[in-house]
Structure 1
Amino acid sequence: MVRVRFAPSPTGLLHIGNARMAVFNWLFARRHKGAFILRIEDTDVARSEKKYTNQLVEDLHWLGLTWQEGPDVGGQYGPYLQSERLPVYHDICQKFLNEGLAYRCYCTPEELEERRQIARLTGKPPRYDNRCRTLTDKQKKTFETSGLSFTIRFKVPEELLVFDDLIRGTCQFDMSLVGDFVIMRSDGTPSFHFAVAVDDTLMQITHVIRGEDHLSNTPCHILLFHALNRKPPQFAHLSLTMGADRTLLSKRHGAFSLSEYRKLGYLPEVLLNYMILLGWAPRDKKEKFKIDDVTNTFEIGTMSKASSVFDQQKLDWLSGQYIREADLERLTNLAIPYLQAAGFISTDENKIDRAQLRLMVDAVRNNISCMSQIVQEADIFFKDAVVSEKHVEFLSSEISQSVLLSFYRELQKLDALSPEIFKEALTAVQKETKVNGKGLYMPVRIALTGREHGPELYGIANILGISMCNKRIERFLLVKK
């Protein structure tokens, strides 16, 4: 059975680039009816925090991802927090020492850095020179009795290592350029290489799907799999996601953490859809789809080798498509916290006019790409229109005044207002003033909202009602009513 894993380090919030790796592992497991495992790599004690573990679990669940094994659900190959697996790493490390596959290294960080600098100056690869591999028994005893701290290094054979990547095809590495690498740090915690290989072995991972920045780590991991008497899993190294300037994705590109996108009010299905588009495209080339529509056609070998580009404008476009089609009641519920925080509606939900609120949400949904934007778009229903000097001049013109006065008089004839009645009133204004198009609609829009663009005018008037429309029009009438 296919078994894949997502193994983040809880040293910060989960960002789009890393979340994308989780999505493709999850999608691959679904495609092959396999298991998706969440493993937390928290051996970096200084930087790992439980709050980040809790947050990434919450964010992944919000995104719609589920896993069959993990720190929150358990499983037969646990524990799934690396910090709880230290005895396992120590036992296997000791086994490597006993079998002569690894050795103690007493080189200090200062000595290692000095040798790296010399290697660079002489045009050599800045690799470890393996000098502690050949220590005599006498030298070993001297170091042991001196009390010097040590790391444990794995012996790397000088060979050409070749493997097939599901995305990149045949890859080969000259291991003579690598040098013996650390598998256990001096503080007793495992290195990334060692912990990953041990965990992937014991958790019976069949496919490792991760970013191409790990491609150079793969040869070391394969050597460790062989030392563990395990056939290496199949590897697939995904291209990284870049900003529009072709540099690694960062916050300056508009790429926030998943938590921040949640706070802004993006729908989870939007983020899931968009992340799948970063490096892969459905056969029908559709950009908007439900996950079930692509699960059975996803093939990891068809993923692009080229870096994908994160495009905030495209994300917002896609998000707008989803919001336009979303269930109105769902959008209304999502809008309430933002409108409450802005002081527009009561914090007591029993005092909220939900019917009126649904009309507002429906009126502005075409103008927003995330739910937090509803505060800006819906403020026209809660605050008097703020009109610029340019708009005051426009509303003071003879044509605008004739339209506003005619519209105001039509409002006085009404006992109720609906989209249909509003359209009839404007038709009457058009007949009386002989003004058409923007000349007819724009004065009314600006007077009611202070803006040249926004929701459909008949919807705005319907929500404001006759009294509020009268009040807002009156502000700009310069002649007797």
Structure 2
Amino acid sequence: MASATSPAAPAPGDTPVRVRFCPSPTGNPHVGLVRTALFNWAFARHHHGTLVFRIEDTDAARDSEESYGRLLDAMRWLGLDWDEGPEVGGPYAPYRQSQRMDVYADVARRLLEAGRAYECYCSAEELETRREAARAAGRPSGYDGQCRDLTDGQRAAYRAEGRDPIVRFRMPDRTVTFTDLVRGELSFAPENVPDYGIVRANGAPLYTLVNPVDDALMGITHVLRGEDLLSSTPRQIALYEALAELGVGTGGTPLFGHLPYVMGEGNKKLSKRDPQASLNLYRERGFLPDGLLNYLSLLGWSFSADQDVFSLDELVERFEIADVNANPARFDLKKAEAINADHIRLLDVKAFADACEPWLRAPFAPWAPEAFDEAAWQAVAPHAQTRLTVLSDITANVDFLFLPEPVFDEASWTKAMKEGSDALLRTARENLAAADWSAPEPLKDAVLVAGEAHGLKLGKAQAPVRVAVTGRTVGLPLFESLQVLGRERTLARIDAALARLAG
């Protein structure tokens, strides 16, 4: 059989790069989708090209305006700007496929007239019966070409039975070979790439038609997408060639790069149904967009052997699709959190304080709005910045400042309040009452001396004081926290702890 290698699209530097991100507005955005958007965005920005944001919303049963709004909101929150698409416009508008139905209908008609597509009247039951027979015989179980060469009379007879046909694209009887930007040269024999549907029986176009048509009309030069779509690539390449023959679009076939799978728990492909896949989870926990994108870029790509933390500007400067690894990438939540923590540290203090604001107000904050003290918050913000993994951690770190009483955490209480803690607390209270509260150091000395009086080092001595005052065994630097809380409230909380210990 003849072999036909797909024509090469212009390489970066020859023709301006044009890539597309075309999600379906179904459900909530997930991290796999975000990584695809990120790699397309970084590739376009690296080559000073164009990112086309297209919405694949031709499935009325699954798509929703609510999900469409979430997609746009997610892209804006992440800072992944687009050059053409919704809210921006562009020379190929509209960019919602539901608004381009006449375009797809016209192309489908032209493909039928040219003999590059045909009507298929096979029912789902008939198709499954023949697939089972093919599998039993050890043959490929794809479409067997039953309706490839129907006569006008046969088509009329099927219609008389009340059958509504789908439209199938006629695959060429030759091997399709192309060079994947991630995986190298790949070949697909014709028996493994059967004719496929491009229009449903109700006339609605399928993504197998609409995406290649829009790519051709919009001059897309590179298609960067998930590995799960690799099997559809030879079909689309054949369709690009047919579109070129019909004069649809620029006549070029894009270069393809298929991004590796993202694996979740149990070494299984991360599904959009997995809780850790939801973008909303990371927004609600207080990941910084730059921190999350930094981590997601490492799922199949690396900045350098000795650097995992970098800015988006640095990503754009370094990113090349040829450097993406074809092997599956494992999603590691702990590493994602560690990288996000590094990005929190990189903020200036004001930017950090501003970023924490949502978690210092209702509905996240457990204190009354009037109890929030801006001056106290600004005083502890620099200390909090060095301790957070995600921004939502700030609430538990500073609640002792704004609640009338510290939270009672039984595990912390049991851990800190050992035999003799009451005597230690009484001595510490006496020393703190007499201390200079203008700086943290005298408060530290007061607790240090109290500990020495009871044969304890500072680390052991300060634990009951911390739990009495803040309610937790870990948190912000203790003596800076005491100074901000103030003498009166600190002593009152130690008194309350002593009363509890006395039972």
TM normalised by structure 2 equals 0.89
Residues 113-140 of structure 1: per-residue CA shift (max 9 Å, x gap): 2222222222221111111112123212
Secondary structure, aligned partner of 2:148: helix
Task: Identify which of 271, 279, 286 aligns with 2:307.
Answer: 286
For 1:215 and 1:393, how far apart are their aligned partners in 2? 55
2:409, 2:149 → 1: CA distance? 82
Q: 1:225 aligned to 2:277?
A: no
The code of the aligned residue for 1:265 comes to G
How far 1:367 sits from its partner (Å)? 3.5
State the distance in 1 between where 2:359 and 2:86 align: 33
User: How far does residue 343 in structure 1 lie from its aligned partner after superposition?
Assistant: 5.0
Look up the match of 2:202: 187
Contact 2:448–2:457 (Cα < 8 Å) also in 1? no
Q: Which residue of 1 aligns with 2:389?
A: 369
**TM-superposed deviation, 1:5:** 0.3
**Alignment partner of 1:162: what SS?**
strand
Deviation at 1:169, TM superposition (A): 0.4
Asked whether the 8 Å contact 2:435–2:443 carries over to 1, the reply is no
* Aligned position for 2:46: 31
For 2:415 and 2:126, how far apart are their aligned partners in 1?
76
1:248-263 to structure 2, matched below 5 A, reads: 248-250=269-271, 254-263=275-284
Match of 2:419 in 1: 397
Kindly provide the amino acid, as one letter, of the partner of residue 395 in structure 1. Answer: M
Task: Compute the RMSD of aligned alpha carbons.
Answer: 2.4
Q: Show structure 2 runs of 5+ residues with no match.
A: 1-15, 245-250
Cα separation, partners in 2 of 1:306 and 1:428, compared to 1, 3 Å = same
Give the superposition deviation at 1:393: 8.7
Deviates more, 1:84-93 or 1:216-225: 84-93
Query: Which of residues 298, 301, 306 in structure 1 aligns to 2:322?
Result: 301
| 1:247–1:311 Cα change, 3 Å | same
Provide Cα deviations, 1:120-173, integer angstroms capped at 9, x if missing partner.
222221111111112123212323455421111111122111110111000000
1:437 positional shift: 3.6
SS at match of 2:294: helix
- Residues in 2 aligned to 1:414 and 1:252: alpha-carbon distance in whole angstroms: 56
Once residues 394 and 365 of structure 1 are traced to their aligned partners in structure 2, the CA distance between those partners, rounded to angstroms, is 25
Aligned to 2:354: 333
1:176 Cα deviation after fit: 2.2
Pairwise mapping of residues 420-459 of structure 1 onto structure 2 (< 5 A)? Answer: 420-430=441-451, 432-459=453-480
Q: Percent identity?
A: 37
For 2:395, give the aligned amino acid: V
2:379 aligns with one of 341, 355, 359 = 359
Distance in 1 separating the partners of 2:465 and 2:272: 41
| Structure 2 residue corresponding to 1:384, chosen from 394, 406, 430 | 406
Q: TM-score with structure 1 length normalisation?
A: 0.93
Structure 1 position 129 matched with structure 2 position 144: yes
CA distance in structure 1 between the aligned counterparts of 2:131 and 2:416, rounded to whole angstroms: 71
Amino acid at match of 2:258: H
Query: Which residue does 2:12 correspond to in 1?
Result: none
Structure 1 residue 407: Cα displacement: 1.4
**SS of 1:91's equivalent?**
helix
CA contact (8 A) 2:384 2:394 kept: yes
Query: Is 1:51–2:66 an aligned residue pair?
Result: yes
Gaps (5+ residues) in structure 1?
none
C-alpha change, 1:39 and 1:342, in structure 2 (3 Å) is closer
